[in-house]
Amino acid sequence: MRTLLDLVLPAECGACRRPGTPWCGECARSVAGPPTRIHPLRDPGVPCWALSRYRGPARQAVLAVKERGRRDLAGPLGVALAAGLAELRAPGRPLILVPSPSRRASARRRGGDPVLRCARSAARSLDGCQVLPCLRVWWGVRDSAGLSARDRDRNLRGRVRAVPLPADAAKAQVVLVDDVLTTGATAQACARALAAAGTYLDDILVTCAA
């Protein structure tokens, strides 16, 4: 007989679908890091890091958040992101997380922006950390799934814009966070948009590198 808690919380792991837990210990270890340096095809001009490769439980967890409505996984994925950020953090500096932007249609379909949700979860675990969602994707951008590196570049060219950050952001370590890095086209477009608005990234950290 199912308890009230079973009705409120998912009855299976968001990655491996093991029954009885929304997020099992084995799958948690798949995104436990430490961050690994990666070198995408499109170089954004700053160090890129990933907690995991885009395979196995890590991939399934990202897909569950984006395509299966598992909003509850933002918590554990945010905790994993926070642990990775703690490894990269410069001592004594405030930390600003800039989530990679989502298309409005995608965010509506997913019940909100999953990258923003994970970033906010991570920030709650870190002192002196704030999330500033200052990037916007303009009309005309398609879903990048299945696009080649060249098509991803064309898809994003001139369509990612940044709102200038507060003046005190110059003293902070600014990190772009995202769920998956594939060719680096999105990271590159985000870095360029931020630079055009007067903000320069220190690092890029993603959950998975494809």
Of the two residues 173 and 145, the one the predictor is more confident about is: 173
Q: pLDDT-derived band of residue 1, with 50, 70 and 90 as boundaries?
A: very low
Rounded to the nearest 5 percent, the helix, strand and coil shares of the chain are 40, 20, 40
Q: Is residue 148 in some structural domain? A: no
Whole-prediction pTM: 0.86
DSSP code of residue 169:
G
Distance CA 81, CA 102 (A): 18
Sign of CA dihedral 31, 37, 39, 43: positive
Distance CA 54, CA 209 (A): 5
Which residue range forms the structural domain that includes residue 131? Answer: 32-140+159-209
CATH number, domain at 40?
3.40.50
Tell me what percent of the residues of the chain surpass a pLDDT of 90.
70
The pLDDT tens digits for 107-140 are 566 567 899 999 999 999 999 999 999 998 875 5
Are 35 and 205 in contact, with CB atoms under 8 Å apart?
yes
Q: Is residue 146 in some structural domain? A: no
Q: Is residue 36 in some structural domain? A: yes
Q: Is residue 26 in some structural domain? A: no
Q: Is residue 2 in some structural domain? A: no
Number of domains in the chain: 1
- Per-residue model confidence (pLDDT) at position 12: 92
The pLDDT tens digits for 132-157 are 999 988 755 555 555 555 655 555 55
Q: Report residue 46 CA to chain centroid gap.
A: 16
Distance CA 179, CA 177 (A): 7
Q: Is residue 108 in some structural domain? A: yes
Q: Is residue 178 in some structural domain? A: yes
Q: Is residue 70 in some structural domain? A: yes
Distance CA 123, CA 101 (A): 17
50 - beta bridge partners?
36, 206
Relative to beta strand 36-38, strand 173-181 is unpaired
